[in-house]
């Protein structure tokens, strides 16, 4: 019999099963989900979350760690016709039991139908890094807790080994007699050439964790760097899984030079007497992924969006205001370092279009003096970064030639990374990333990304994004001309074809490239 297309949601039959993050079904349904040759039973629910399935039985601490073996044993028992062994077999056939967090995550209530399909994990599905936001299940205003990130990582690996985690998923678990819930903020896959789905992956023995406390909880983490370091140290993070295509070399270089030292355990860091790179300049033509890279680097360090400021917003006509804006940029990091010392979190500041501070005010003598003052202010603040171990300033520009030498000296923007237009394999990676969001079902089988990569020489990543968007518009136009009177589209039959891409390619290809007048330095 095949996997049922939908199942009826019900509540978890027993309290002791609510903290496992497993979904439960009847033994008659379970074997539909078996991944032959492994002990895994997995289902994709509502196209949103993948859960490991089990047969409900009374968990004691011994069986908990052997639940998959237990599942197997139960199946054999079932096949031999020796049913009804325990009093916990209370999930009816055609039903799937989910805990509250799981139901909220896939937006269903008990009694609703939910779509289900068997999920077989692809090769190379292991997670390198998982970023989780942690909070207490029961919110008590006065409660504070210090959590050792290394111990918690090991605990999570033990209880959730081989479970799939998807971005945005919320999972409840018990740790030291306390009920916690985490939200999956970001997943990063192990290094591999072609990362498939970047939204989810499976916890393995090598998965590292970065934790962040939810604003509402007062959880403090210790040993955070140690918990997160192993994969970064091994160079095991794949930039494609972060949505960055064709920039493998730049990514590896930045990880090695600007990130690695921040993941060295603190005692060792002090003993080695090393210094972090505090200033990183990303430069190159427009639309080549500099800002995208800066954002992802920030997220790797902190597990959340970095602070982003744009040069044109920092610059002000009011006397002294630009200098103040520059001083303010550093204030949070300075305060944090003063209060927390070595335990301060990393502050990543992205200064986009930094060249704007060198262009302000026109060509008068007064404007020149003002520009000089502002550059001095930035240089002084960057020199102050020497005393701060918690800051990384990332400057982004496509006019490096405008930046004065004094900002590029060692100790200031000491690490400079050049970005160029992607080559053919880079363009293919970018196209794969951009079309991955379409959940392949919208992409007609005749779409040949390799051919498109070959035909888009001199395109930047941003222009490839425009090409994909424009192909979608072509497909919509085509769909609306077929059914001019219909307001909506039939989602089932809507497809973006190779012809749509070629159509979209035409005007872009004949347009003079924005790259042509770019002055590279």
Q: Of 463, 473, 462, give the one whose Cα is nearest residue 501.
A: 473
Pair of tokens at residue 391: 């800051």
Extract the tokens encoding 444.
């007609």
Least separation, in Å, of the C-beta of 400 and ligand ATP? 11
Nearer to ligand ATP, 56 or 239 (CB): 239
288 binds ligand ATP (CB under 6 A): yes
Q: Which of 198, 242, 244, 449 binds ligand ATP (CB under 6 A)?
A: 244
| Closest approach of ligand ATP to the CB of residue 78, in Å | 48
Considering only 200-208, 242-250, 357-365, 479-487, which stretch makes contact with ligand ATP by CB under 6 A? 242-250
For residues 119 and 53, give the distance between their C-alpha atoms in angstroms, rounded to a whole number: 11
Rounded Cα distance, 464 and 246, in Å: 12
Whole-number Å distance between alpha carbons of 267 and 467: 50
Query: Who's near 296: CB < 8 A, 6+ residues apart?
Result: 239, 242, 243, 244
| Site track for ligand ATP across 383-402, x = CB under 6 A | -------------x-x----
200 scored as a contact of ligand ATP (CB under 6 A): no
Q: Which of the ranges 32-40, 41-49, 80-88, 285-293 carries the binding residues for ligand ATP, by CB under 6 A?
A: 285-293
Does residue number 411 form part of the binding site for ligand ATP (CB under 6 A)? no
The interface mask with ligand ATP, positions 429-448, x = CB under 6 A, is -x--x---------------
Query: Which residue in 512, 501, 438 sits closest to 466, CA to CA?
Result: 501
Give phi and psi for 12, each to the nearest 5.
-60, 135
Nearer to ligand ATP, 169 or 398 (CB): 398
Residue 56 or 422 having the CB closest to ligand ATP: 422
Q: Does 465 bind ligand ATP (CB under 6 A)?
A: yes
Tokens of 164: 């799939």
Residues 109/46, Cβ–Cβ less than 8 Å: no
Q: Does 466 bind ligand ATP (CB under 6 A)?
A: no
Q: Is 98 in the site for ligand ATP (CB under 6 A)?
A: no
* DSSP letter, residue 77: H
Q: What are phi and psi of 85, to 5 degrees?
A: -80, -30
Between CA 74 and CA 395 the distance in angstroms is 59
Check residue 196 and report its DSSP letter. -
**Is residue 246 a contact point for ligand ATP (CB under 6 A)?**
yes
Listed ranges 39-47, 65-73, 154-162, 284-292: which one lies at the site for ligand ATP (CB under 6 A): 284-292
Residues 398/347, Cβ–Cβ less than 8 Å: no
Q: Considering beta carbons, is residue 165 or 282 the nearer one to ligand ATP? A: 282
Radius of gyration (C-alpha) of the chain in whole angstroms? 27
In this chain, which stretch among 13-21, 73-81, 323-331, 459-467 interacts with ligand ATP, using CB under 6 A?
459-467
Residue 247 interacts with ligand ATP (CB under 6 A)? yes
According to the binding rule CB under 6 A, does residue 75 interact with ligand ATP?
Answer: no
- Kindly report the length of the chain: 521
Least Å from the CB of residue 332 to ligand ATP: 23
Residues 6 or more apart whose Cβ sits within 8 Å of residue 282: 290, 293, 294, 394, 395, 396, 397, 417, 419
Residues that contact ligand ATP, how many (by CB under 6 A): 19
Residue nearest to ligand ATP as judged by C-beta position: 461
Indicate which single residue of 191, 196, 201, 289 sits in contact with ligand ATP (rule: CB under 6 A): 289
Shortest Å distance, C-beta 188 to ligand ATP: 15
Contact pick of 291, 302, 456, 470 for ligand ATP (by CB under 6 A): 291
| Helices 424-436, 461-482: crossing angle, 10 deg rounding | 50
200-202 and 164-166: which strand pairing? antiparallel
Write out the residues near ligand ATP by the rule CB under 6 A: 243-247, 286-292, 396, 398, 430, 433, 461-462, 465
């Amino acid at each position: 019999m095949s996997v049922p297309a939908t199942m009826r949601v019900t509540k978890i039959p027993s309290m002791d099963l609510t903290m496992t993050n497993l979904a439960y079904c009847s033994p008659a349904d379970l074997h539909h989900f078996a991944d032959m040759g492994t002990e895994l039973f997995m289902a994709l629910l509502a196209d949103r979350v993948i859960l490991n399935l089990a047969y409900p039985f009374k968990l004691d601490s011994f069986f908990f760690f052997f639940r998959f073996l237990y599942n197997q044993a139960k199946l054999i028992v079932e096949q031999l016709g020796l049913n009804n062994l325990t009093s916990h077999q209370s999930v009816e056939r055609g039903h799937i039991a989910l805990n509250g967090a799981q139901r909220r995550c896939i937006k269903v209530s008990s009694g609703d139908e939910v779509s289900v399909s068997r999920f077989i994990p692809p090769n190379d599905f292991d997670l390198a890094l998982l970023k989780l936001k942690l909070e207490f299940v029961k919110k008590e205003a006065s409660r504070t807790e210090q959590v050792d990130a290394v111990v918690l990582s090991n605990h999570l690996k033990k209880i959730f080994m081989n479970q799939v985690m998807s971005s945005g998923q919320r999972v409840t678990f018990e740790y030291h007699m306390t009920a916690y819930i985490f939200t999956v903020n970001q997943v990063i896959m192990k290094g591999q050439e072609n990362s498939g789905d970047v939204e989810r992956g499976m916890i393995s023995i090598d998965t590292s964790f970065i934790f962040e406390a939810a604003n509402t909880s007062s959880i403090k983490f210790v040993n955070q760097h140690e918990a997160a370091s192993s994969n970064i140290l091994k160079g095991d993070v794949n930039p494609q899984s972060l949505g960055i295509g064709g920039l493998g070399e730049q990514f590896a270089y930045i990880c090695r030079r600007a990130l690695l030292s921040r993941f060295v355990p603190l005692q060792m860091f002090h003993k080695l007497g090393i210094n972090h790179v505090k200033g990183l300049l990303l430069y190159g033509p427009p639309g080549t992924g500099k800002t995208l890279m800066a954002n992802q680097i920030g997220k790797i360090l902190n597990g959340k969006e970095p602070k982003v400021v744009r040069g044109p917003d920092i610059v002000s006509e009011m006397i002294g205001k630009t200098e103040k804006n520059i001083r303010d940029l550093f204030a949070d990091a300075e305060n944090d370092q003063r209060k927390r010392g070595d335990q301060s979190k990393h502050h990543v500041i992205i200064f986009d279009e930094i060249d704007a501070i060198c262009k302000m005010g026109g060509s008068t003598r007064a404007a020149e003096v003002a520009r000089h003052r502002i550059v001095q202010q930035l240089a002084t603040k960057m020199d102050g970064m020497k005393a701060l171990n918690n800051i990384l300033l990332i400057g982004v520009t496509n006019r490096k030639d405008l930046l004065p030498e004094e900002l590029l000296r060692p100790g200031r923007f000491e690490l400079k990374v050049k970005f160029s237009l992607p080559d053919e394999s880079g363009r293919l990676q970018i196209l794969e990333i951009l079309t991955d969001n379409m959940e392949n079902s919208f992409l007609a089988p005749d779409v040949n990304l390799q051919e498109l990569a070959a035909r888009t020489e001199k395109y930047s990543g941003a222009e490839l994004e425009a090409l994909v968007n424009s192909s979608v518009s072509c497909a919509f136009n085509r769909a609306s001309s077929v059914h001019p009177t219909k307001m909506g589209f039939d989602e089932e039959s809507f497809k973006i074809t190779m012809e749509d891409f070629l159509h979209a390619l035409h005007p872009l290809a004949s347009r003079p490239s924005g790259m042509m007048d770019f002055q590279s330095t």
